[in-house]
Amino acid sequence: MIHDMHYQACKDVYLIDKFEAKEVTEIASQIHSKSPVDYVFSFIEEGLYPAAYLAKELKIEGMDYDVHRLCLDKTIMRGKFKNTKFSISYLKTNSKNQAFYFFREHKRIVIKDPSGCGSENVYICNTDEEFSYAWLKTANLKNEIRLLEEFLDGREYSLETLSLNGHHNFIGATKTFLYPGHLNNCAYYRSTFVSPGLLPGKGDAVLINCLTF
């Protein structure tokens, strides 16, 4: 959704009907040929892949494609965590029988889209009924493949950083809460910063020609 503030903050705003990587790249290539872009970035989770893909295709500065793919594909990420203290039991499958066996083994699990974002298609399963409901609700995923993970109980925090070229500036931490009555679809909100950080120096800004989503 485009707001007045977008038009105020940006020199130009281009509307795209189908927000997919190839279409974004085609339009951005035309923009880049007329007014070379220094950097490409996305402020929304759904725009991260198109932004990373675009930076790779146009060979301009932006988010690293391989790093983003690692973050987007949760199965690959789980594989990277294997044999570390962050490792958990997981299963990628489109077999309901395999999934139910995994559920019975761990008693409480999460069923999710392996490449989803924004906590869409994420379900916590505590009972057989919740498992059946989650399996049915995720039937429209690509190839009907789900990622199942053992549920880790505890408080969830999100740590926000501004990172560039291996340098990380801690901005703050937010606490995540599930909306009451939404345990089965993981609708959540984040509190305000509970531990705000300060960037070093005066934070002088440099204006560059930047393409954002």
pTM over 0.75: no
pLDDT at residue number 190: 52
Locate 174 and state its tokens.
């937010």
Q: Is the pLDDT of residue 64 over 60?
A: yes
Looking at the chain, the whole-number percentage of residues with pLDDT higher than 70 is: 78
pLDDT tens-digit profile of 142-197? 778 899 999 988 887 777 777 777 788 887 777 776 655 444 545 455 554 444 44
Please indicate whether residue 24 or residue 17 has the higher confidence score (pLDDT). Answer: 24
Distance CA 115, CA 82 (A): 18
pLDDT tens-digit profile of 30-51? 888 888 888 887 777 778 888 8
Answer yes or no: are the C-beta atoms of 40 and 62 closer than 8 Å.
yes
Distance CA 166, CA 144 (A): 37
Closest of 108, 70, 72 to residue 89, by C-alpha: 108
Domain parsing of the chain, residue ranges: 2-68, 74-150, 156-212
Q: Is the pLDDT of residue 211 over 60?
A: no
Backbone angles phi, psi at 13, to 5 degrees: -125, 125
Using CA atoms of 120, 125, 129, 132 in order, give the dihedral in degrees to the nearest 10: 50
Using CA atoms of 61, 116, 213, 161 in order, give the dihedral in degrees to the nearest 10: -60
Distance CA 149, CA 86 (A): 13
CB atoms within 10 A of CB 159: 12
Answer yes or no: are the C-beta atoms of 49 and 72 closer than 8 Å.
yes
pLDDT at residue number 208: 42
Class of domain 74-150: alpha beta
* CB environment 49-73: b (16+ within 10 A), e (fewer): bbbbbbbbbbebebbebeebeebbe
